[in-house]
Structure 1
Amino acid sequence: MRVLFVCLGNICRSPSAEGVFREQLRQAGLADRVEVDSCGIGHWHVGKAPDRRAQAAAGQRGIDLSALRARMLEAEDFERFDYILAMDHDNLAAIEARRPAGCRARIDLFLSYAGRPDEAVPDPYFGGDDGFEHVLDLIEAASRGLIDALRRQLSA
């Protein structure tokens, strides 16, 4: 099973989701059954580490994002991943616009797994540190829901 998290530049929300989700998979005993990655729609930060504020907020929760590097969504991602999860409506629209015919990946808003099917994970980039904490709270909730969904799928 493969999961891809997508945001705008791949330096705040999606790498945070990747880190949180990896840790929750580890705690759930599913780390060896699910591959996780993240990427961005835009090219601005390719090759860069996550935003220092995202790293600090995640670090306070015991999650190390320092080894992650930003990359862009690629055509191959639609073949490689079973789930492609967008952080907001603009990301979702950009993913759908690039979706090739015959793509079987489930493409959705990430917060749908937190019982918030029409809500977005807000971009904390231009805000203060508290925005990064709020993003992590949302990501943790959605990650729990996604793990429940994957657990059901993997046991079917």
Structure 2
Amino acid sequence: MIKVLFVCLGNICRSPLAEAIFNHQIQKLNLPHKFKSDSCGTSDYHIGELPDERSIKCANDHGIKISHRGRQLSHADIRDFDYIIAMDKSNRSNIYKLMDTYSQTHDQIHLMRDFQPNNSESEEVPDPYYGGEDGFEKVYQILDESIKELIAKLQKEHQVYA
């Protein structure tokens, strides 16, 4: 089973939306038995909380359900997940710091937009927290596009097909 972890700061906006989109796409490909995904934050701001209402609404508008409670990145996550996908450079740096306490390599860490085809805009998924619903929709579009490519890469790399 291939394990993918999506990481943002508080685990209430971007990463739970990414996890939900990933699960939705995997389900459509009839591959839920081949992948496991989760999401978390590098901070402890929202442990145990539901995702932001705007993330939930955005997902629902696209026919996707979010089932998640906020949690913080742990050492066990670094050990247990094959791929750790950070939403931005700041959170990637926080992941590296946690990893470096165990002298592990950074090969499993990626930025979400590394997978977005034809992206010339930014390396980071913007944090929509302080904006309106349109920011959540923009994030959804970035994640949806990036995750399709991520899944295609994982399928090819691991020879995983329905």
- Structure 1, gaps ≥5 residues long: none
Q: CA deviation at 1:84?
A: 0.3
**Equivalent AA in structure 2 for residue 108 of structure 1:** H
**Equivalent AA in structure 2 for residue 120 of structure 1:** E
- Structure 2, gaps ≥5 residues long: none
Q: Is 1:47–1:70's contact at 8 Å kept on the other side of the alignment?
A: yes
Residue 122 (1) aligns with residue 126 (2): yes
Q: Percent identity?
A: 39
Question: What TM-score comes out, normalization by structure 1 length?
Answer: 0.94
Residue 151 (1) aligns with residue 148 (2): no
Counterpart-to-counterpart distance in 2, 1:97 and 1:144: 29
Residue 111 (1) aligns with residue 113 (2): yes
Question: What TM-score comes out, normalization by structure 2 length?
Answer: 0.91
Counterpart-to-counterpart distance in 1, 2:107 and 2:11: 20
**Equivalent AA in structure 1 for residue 111 of structure 2:** L
Aligned length: 155
Runs of 4+ in 1 over 2 A off after TM superposition: 102-105, 115-118
Question: Match of 1:33?
Answer: 34
Alignment of structure 1 residues 6-155 onto 2, 5 Å? 6-65=7-66, 67-99=67-99, 100-103=102-105, 106-115=108-117, 116=119, 119-155=123-159
Q: Is 2:46–2:70's contact at 8 Å kept on the other side of the alignment?
A: yes
Q: CA deviation at 1:105?
A: 5.4
